[in-house]
């Protein structure tokens, strides 16, 4: 059998880092079914060339032919452009990829760029909140303008993301237990924990529903008795994450808060170029680095490919290929520890290609 993967590099450094992930997947040999890669179009450049940021063909092929997919990054303009809408937001909706799972962990680089004790997973709701993009602008009688956005929170979406978070916490607890038993150094000694991130002191209706729905997941069963549940208001979440990231295990958040705290967490561990994610639904999964198209460094072959490569590992492990996934992560860690091949975001001088090749060599 083969593994059919839709590959959507999209814009900017997506076109540089996605091929790196592809090379790593190709290098795994018979430990996974032979991957076939189907290049697919989407993005701002595609919009400018052909008028559609997300061609119907791309969605059709993903749905009908692919087992899973990898996405690079898209450039979205900061102003409204008629007919344009972010293809990644649309893809998450079309494929009902309701969870964005973002593990953020410090890396063993020698130059102290990475905080020494951070190992958390941010579980971001991926389909609603302010990202439903219902915005309108009106003009008041005095000619001044008022812009309004609708924020949608549903109990359905909040419950399923809550369940995902508790399941991840449960699994991480088991994995840490196994690691300890096999003599590995595990610094987390507490029970698994889910932190609910919200702002229901101010937004008591919307964030209130999110909070209640996630709480009900734990309260409705004894399955999660071994998982602690805590809450943090989103602003103090940022503060505590920077002060003492080691206290967090799994954090679950509505879409916008999840987006923001993920970039913050990426800074903690050294670079956005390190942090992977998967967009996961019940039927499909798509790997995607957390970063954007990075126009400030595109086209120079200096983007860090590790976020993209780790996204491929995350994708594999979510498809059940756990051993090949951990081989990829071990190769990445080895290259980081060695410190000889680091891209400029990590204080090094190596190119995207150099780092990719160093990882391939380790594999």
- What is d(CA 139, CA 173) in angstroms, rounded to the nearest whole number? 54
Minimum CB separation of residue 277 from ligand NAI in Å reads 9
Which lies closer to ligand NAI via its Cβ, residue 158 or residue 293?
Answer: 293
Minimum CB separation of residue 267 from Mg ion in Å reads 12
Of all residues in the shown chain, the one whose CB is closest to Mg ion is: 259
- Residue 288 carries which DSSP code? -
Binds ligand NAI (CB under 6 A): choice among 9, 192, 245, 273: 273
25 binds, among Mg ion, ligand NAI, none (CB under 5 to 8 A by kind): none
Minimum CB separation of residue 90 from ligand NAI in Å reads 12
- Contact characters 27-46, ligand NAI, x per CB under 6 A: --------------------
The pairs formed by 22-25 with CB atoms below 8 angstroms and a separation of 24 or more are: 22/70, 22/312, 23/356, 23/360, 24/309, 24/312, 24/328, 24/356, 24/359, 24/360, 24/363, 25/312, 25/316
Minimum CB separation of residue 142 from Mg ion in Å reads 36
Q: Are 12 and 75 in contact (CB under 8 A)?
A: yes
**What residues line the site for Mg ion (CB under 5 A)?**
259
- What is d(CA 273, CA 213) in angstroms, rounded to the nearest whole number? 33
Instruction: Give, as ranges, the residues between 83 and 112 that touch ligand NAI (CB under 6 A).
Output: 88
Closest among 320, 270, 273 to 296, alpha carbons compared: 273
Closest among 323, 275, 340, 277 to 28, alpha carbons compared: 323
Closest among 327, 267, 332, 306 to 118, alpha carbons compared: 267
Pinpoint the alpha helices (H) of the chain.
14-26, 44-50, 56-65, 87-94, 155-181, 206-219, 234-243, 255-268, 306-318, 322-338, 352-362
Which lies closer to ligand NAI via its Cβ, residue 82 or residue 146?
Answer: 82
Closest among 282, 284, 230 to 120, alpha carbons compared: 230
Residue with tokens 């051993």, as numbered in its chain: 323
- Residue 167 carries which DSSP code? H
Minimum CB separation of residue 294 from Mg ion in Å reads 12
- What is d(CA 19, CA 15) in angstroms, rounded to the nearest whole number? 7
Closest among 294, 285, 286 to 266, alpha carbons compared: 294
- Contact characters 164-203, ligand NAI, x per CB under 6 A: ----------------------------------------
122 binds, among ligand NAI, Mg ion, none (CB under 5 to 8 A by kind): none
Minimum CB separation of residue 272 from ligand NAI in Å reads 4
Binds ligand NAI (CB under 6 A): choice among 75, 105, 255, 356: 75
Span of 58-66, 70-78, 95-103, 177-185 interacting with ligand NAI by CB under 6 A: 70-78
3-state secondary structure of 301: coil
Binds ligand NAI (CB under 6 A): choice among 76, 100, 158, 350: 76
Which lies closer to Mg ion via its Cβ, residue 160 or residue 291?
Answer: 291
Binds ligand NAI (CB under 6 A): choice among 20, 272, 312, 359: 272
Closest among 270, 268, 230 to 251, alpha carbons compared: 230
Which lies closer to ligand NAI via its Cβ, residue 9 or residue 162?
Answer: 9
- Is 64 a binder of ligand NAI (CB under 6 A)? no
Instruction: Give, as ranges, the residues between 324 and 363 that touch ligand NAI (CB under 6 A).
Output: 343, 345
Which lies closer to ligand NAI via its Cβ, residue 62 or residue 297?
Answer: 297
Of all residues in the shown chain, the one whose CB is closest to ligand NAI is: 292
3-state secondary structure of 185: coil
Instruction: Give, as ranges, the residues between 287 and 316 that touch ligand NAI (CB under 6 A).
Output: 291-297, 303-304, 307
Question: Where do contacts with ligand NAI occur on this chain (CB under 6 A)?
Answer: 13, 17, 73-76, 88, 271-273, 291-297, 303-304, 307, 343, 345
């Amino acid at each position: 059998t083969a593994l059919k993967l839709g590959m959507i590099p999209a814009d900017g450094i997506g076109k540089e880092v996605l091929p790196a992930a592809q090379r790593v997947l190709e290098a795994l040999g018979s430990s996974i079914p032979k991957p076939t890669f189907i290049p697919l179009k989407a993005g701002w450049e595609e919009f400018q060339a052909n008028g559609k940021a997300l061609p119907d063909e791309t969605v059709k092929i993903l749905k009908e032919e692919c087992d899973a997919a990898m996405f690079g990054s898209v450039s979205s303009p900061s102003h409204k452009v008629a007919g344009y809408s972010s293809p990644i937001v649309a893809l998450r909706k079309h494929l009902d990829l309701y969870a964005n799972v973002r593990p953020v962990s410090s890396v063993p680089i020698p130059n102290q760029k990475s905080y020494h004790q951070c190992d958390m997973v941010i579980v971001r709701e991926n389909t609603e909140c302010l990202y439903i993009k219902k915005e309108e602008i009106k003009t008041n009688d005095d000619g001044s303008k008022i812009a309004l956005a609708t924020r949608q929170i549903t109990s359905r979406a909040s419950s399923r993301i809550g369940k995902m978070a508790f399941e991840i916490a449960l699994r991480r607890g088991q994995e840490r237990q196994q690691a300890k038993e096999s003599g590995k150094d595990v610094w987390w000694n507490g029970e698994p924990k889910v932190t609910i991130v919200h702002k229901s002191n101010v937004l008591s209706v919307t964030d209130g529903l999110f909070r209640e729905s996630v709480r009900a997941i734990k309260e409705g069963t004894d399955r999660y008795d071994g998982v602690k549940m805590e809450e943090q208001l989103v602003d103090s979440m940022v503060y505590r994450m920077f002060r003492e990231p080691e206290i967090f295990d799994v954090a679950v958040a509505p879409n916008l808060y999840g987006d923001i705290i993920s970039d913050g967490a990426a800074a903690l561990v050294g670079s956005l170029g390190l942090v992977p994610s998967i967009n996961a639904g019940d039927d499909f999964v798509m790997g995607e680095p957390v970063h954007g198209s990075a126009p400030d460094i595109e086209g120079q072959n200096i983007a860090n490919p590790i976020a993209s490569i780790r996204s491929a590992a995350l994708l594999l492990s979510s498809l059940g290929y756990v051993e090949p996934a951990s081989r990829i992560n071990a190769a990445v860690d080895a290259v980081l520890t060695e410190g000889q091949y680091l891209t400029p975001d990590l204080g090094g001088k190596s190119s995207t290609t150099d780092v990719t090749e160093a990882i391939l060599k380790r594999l």
